Structure 1
Amino acid sequence: MQQPQLLHEEKVFKDPVHRYVHVRDKFIWDLINSAEFQRLRRVRQLGTSFFTFHGGEHSRFNHSLGVYELMRRILETFEGRIQLTYEEKLLCLCAALLHDVGHGPFSHSFEKVFKYHHEDWTRAILLGDTQINRILRRFDDSFPKKLAEVINKTYDNKLIVSLISSQLDADRMDYLLRDAYYTGVNYGNFEIERILRVMRPQEDGIVFKFSGMHAVEDYIMSRYQMYWQVYFHPVTRSAEVILCKIFQRAKLLFSQGYPFMQEPVMLLPFLQEKVELADYLALDESIILFYMQLWRREQDPVLKDLCARFLDRNLFKYVEYNPRDFRLLSELKELFQSAGIDPMYYLEVDTTSDLPYDFYRAGEEEERIPIMLQMPSGELVELSQKSEIVQAISGKRRFDYKLYFPLDKVMALPGDLSRKIRERLGVMEDA
């Protein structure tokens, strides 16, 4: 079994959330300096949230470093409580560091239109012809495969998997604290020090001392508030709607042979649906923004308008929408069509939903690993059995529906038609 190769001197990153990120292992340092990991500096952590919270410009790079640092601290607290080999510790640290390495520009919007998933690309980066793969194989030829299994949640050591992928793991703890810090909100803050102190390793996962239950409750409620106040903010969602429409329009125009003023060379593999790993790794948010700047000067009025809206933050407005009101949506589509406003690009129902906490129920398809409390007697009890707060939200999925549209285009229509559309939307004249 290989032993740690330590750097001559510890490397330290200054971090606003954890104060410092410590790196002593040369293996980890080399992974951080790989081209694939450095690419994460050019991919925002929060996608379009910077339109709503101007401080939310942080990257997948500093989130990944933060998850690594939390994992390092967790492993320190486990010393003397459970025996882990150097390989097992390294798997934990590498999974924490590299769990998001497959994310692309404006991840979720881009994935939705071009129909891929970032976790598939993460595995491709770990197993393919990359600097990261070559570094991982320095430890052992089987190490990249084991790491891919950890991130894919199929690795046989459940403790290692739970540390990076569960309802309370290093990834979630970092992004809640980090996203709260950069967006300037208080919702995502919780007692991280207390949670680390009451975390206990077991062979099949992590548990938490009963005395720390209130800190875990605080974490659950912080997550709930962050999703509804930050991640699902309607202004952020409006920007995502426009972003998806831009990609959809570009994809359609390309399929129709539209003569772009400048051929979108970097996007051709995606438009042609022939994407290789090298093509994917060459793409980041600066490339997408570059093409938007070009496309806002295109002849196509829809692509031109959508890109200008995104770049200038002239976003769609929204109203609450009842998904059972099929007649309303149908009528609005007809009205938009008659007004010369293409409803395919300018009328969109957006749905958000979140399940803040749940536990496994026999017979249900999706496995949910519960958060377990360790009672003073040593007995393990599922969190919602002891917490009235968590019990109140367990298994309750909340949905939100909004209808997005360009109010400025509606207002510019002739009086009667504009008034009719605004009446159906429930929008006042001075909105």
Structure 2
Amino acid sequence: MSQKFAELDEVKVFKDPVHRYIHVKDRLIWELIGTPEFQRLRRIRQLGTTFLTFHGAEHSRFGHSLGVYEITRRIIEVFDGHPQWHPDERLLCLSAALLHDIGHGPFSHTFEKVFDTDHEKFTQEIILGDTEVNRVLRKEDPDFPKKVAEVIAKTYGNKLVVSLISSQIDADRMDYLLRDAYYTGVSYGNFDLERIWRVMRPYDDQVVIKQSGMHAVEDYIMSRYQMYWQIYFHPVTRSAEVILSKILKRVKSLYLKGYEFKQPPIALIPLFKNQLSLKDYLKLDESVIMYYFQVWLDEEDQILQDLCQRFINRRLFKYIEFSPNKYFDIFSDLREAFYEAAIDPDYYLVVDSSSDLPYDFYRPGEEEERLPIHLLMPDGTLRELSRESTIVEAISGKMRTDHKLYYPADFIEDMSHHQAAKKKIKDLLNY
């Protein structure tokens, strides 16, 4: 590998509320941070619609990406000098850590579901395509972009390098748990990060944890469990996501039907036509989407106008607990009653489900095989974490799923001209 990128004359420092300081001494990393593609991440929130539930959750994927880079940098410092760590892969690890989320779009996962885009695919395209990121990476070595893309795609030959960025205890998860806890103002996601990275060791093709650090890892796994159910799957956040997805579906449907917008959503038209180029994608961020939401407040289509008003002014849908299997007939009756009341159930009656598997061990042949966390025992052998930890054993392999039914309570209360349908809806919602 060529050494065209030397170190900077002086270490650059970012002040960070989670890690206190983020240090950059490699010119390659410094130039990557300065690219337009990476700077775009400042305009994409890390937690999508969560800011409508926890008002502090305005942090961006830019800050998170710097955080993942910093954790990876500190882990590599611990690995330095270990016979199973190859120092010539240091810059590769740092680049992959920094760029792992660069392909995310506005309101990341909701956006992907509606328009069938894939942030991982766009991450590959940004790294390998006609971009400033690619040009910076190629200065290091013509094959360097390909290697970085392979690490992020989990296809790189050295799985130890991959596991630093993507595993059940990786730099990505460790940063977002701490960062999201900080910005949402909760304590659930806190754990002893420094203790964990100090007991991490390279071992063949994976990162393992010294047995003495088991309790810190238990704390990390429980923090992840709590963050998912208290923050990431919060029912109010999911209500905002439901409305967001319905706005995007409505505007796409209107466009494809030939609806004449007062101000055409030019930036979104390539999406509607399934002709989205990388150049078009990179123009999209959350400021663009929010601009259109403001514009659509004046549209003549009542559904689009109402949904945008709800999202902008936080007039979210109410929800009840719901079991799709048990109450399928009730859902069908509710849809019928909504039609009777002139409320379109396709946009105003939604079942949303969330599932999480906090930790699992290797189950050959199963979908999404998960590499387990291994403890390095004092005698040099490895033990899978749940075999040593009764806490982790208790939650291993246990999928938890939650279902909510979302609906506009204000519409139902205002149904003065549809009293029969109103009563039917209320009765069904109180099942």
State the TM-score bracket (shorter-chain normalisation): over 0.9
Aligned to 1:417: 421
Residues of 2 paired with 1:82 and 1:54: CA distance? 47
Aligned residue for 2:298, secondary structure, equals: coil
Aligned to 2:57: 56
Aligned to 2:290: 289
Q: Which amino acid aligns with 1:410?
A: I
Q: Displacement, 1:420?
A: 2.2
Contact 2:296 2:305 in 1 (8 A): yes
Residues of 2 paired with 1:322 and 1:293: CA distance? 35
Contact 2:85 2:202 in 1 (8 A): no
Q: Which amino acid aligns with 1:12?
A: V
Aligned to 2:430: 426
Aligned to 2:237: 236
Consecutive unaligned residues of structure 1, counting only runs of 5 or more, are: none
Check if 1:218 corresponds to 2:219: yes
Aligned residue for 2:406, secondary structure, equals: strand
Aligned to 1:26: 27
Q: Displacement, 1:290?
A: 0.4
Note closer, same or farther for the CA distance 1:140–1:84 as it changes in structure 2 (3 Å cut). farther
Residues of 2 paired with 1:268 and 1:149: CA distance? 31
Q: Displacement, 1:365?
A: 3.1
Note closer, same or farther for the CA distance 1:127–1:188 as it changes in structure 2 (3 Å cut). same
Check if 1:194 corresponds to 2:198: no
Alignment of 1:83-232 (within 5 A): 84-232=85-233
Q: Which amino acid aligns with 2:215?
A: H
- CA-to-aligned-CA distance 1:269-318 (integer Å, 9 cap, x gap): 11111000000001100000000001111000000000000000000000
Aligned to 1:397: 399
User: Which is further off, 177-186 or 362-371?
Assistant: 362-371
Match of 1:375 among 360, 374, 377: 377
Contact 2:351 2:404 in 1 (8 A): yes
Residues of 2 paired with 1:298 and 1:29: CA distance? 44
User: Which is further off, 406-415 or 225-234?
Assistant: 406-415
- CA-to-aligned-CA distance 1:322-357 (integer Å, 9 cap, x gap): 111110100000000000000000000000000000
Residues of 2 paired with 1:333 and 1:420: CA distance? 11
Residues of 2 paired with 1:281 and 1:38: CA distance? 11
Aligned to 1:257: 258
CA RMSD of aligned residues (A): 1.0
Identity %: 64
Query: TM-score normalised to the size of structure 2?
Result: 0.98
Aligned to 2:42: 41
Residues of 1 paired with 2:72 and 2:310: CA distance? 41
Check if 1:356 corresponds to 2:358: yes
Aligned residue for 2:11, secondary structure, equals: strand
Aligned residue for 1:258, secondary structure, equals: coil
Q: Displacement, 1:416?
A: 3.8
Aligned residue for 2:230, secondary structure, equals: helix
Aligned to 2:70: 69
Q: Which amino acid aligns with 2:174?
A: M
User: Which is further off, 365-374 or 78-87?
Assistant: 78-87
Contact 2:160 2:206 in 1 (8 A): yes
Contact 2:95 2:148 in 1 (8 A): yes
Q: Which amino acid aligns with 1:2?
A: S
Q: Displacement, 1:179?
A: 0.2
Aligned to 2:2: 2
Q: Displacement, 1:422?
A: 1.3
Query: TM-score normalised to the size of structure 1?
Result: 0.98
Q: Displacement, 1:84?
A: 4.4
Match of 1:331 among 326, 330, 333: 333
Aligned residue for 2:207, secondary structure, equals: strand
Consecutive unaligned residues of structure 2, counting only runs of 5 or more, are: none
Aligned residue for 2:323, secondary structure, equals: coil
Note closer, same or farther for the CA distance 1:231–1:155 as it changes in structure 2 (3 Å cut). same
Residues of 2 paired with 1:410 and 1:119: CA distance? 41
Contact 2:338 2:421 in 1 (8 A): no
Residues of 2 paired with 1:352 and 1:294: CA distance? 32
Aligned to 2:320: 319
Residues of 2 paired with 1:366 and 1:273: CA distance? 28
Aligned residue for 2:262, secondary structure, equals: coil
User: Where in structure 1 do 4 or more consecutive aligned residues deviate above 6 Å?
Assistant: none
- CA-to-aligned-CA distance 1:149-205 (integer Å, 9 cap, x gap): 100001010100000000000000000000000000000000111101111111211
- CA-to-aligned-CA distance 1:203-248 (integer Å, 9 cap, x gap): 2110001111010000000000000000000000000000000000
Aligned residues: 427
Aligned residue for 1:381, secondary structure, equals: strand
Q: Which amino acid aligns with 2:2?
A: Q
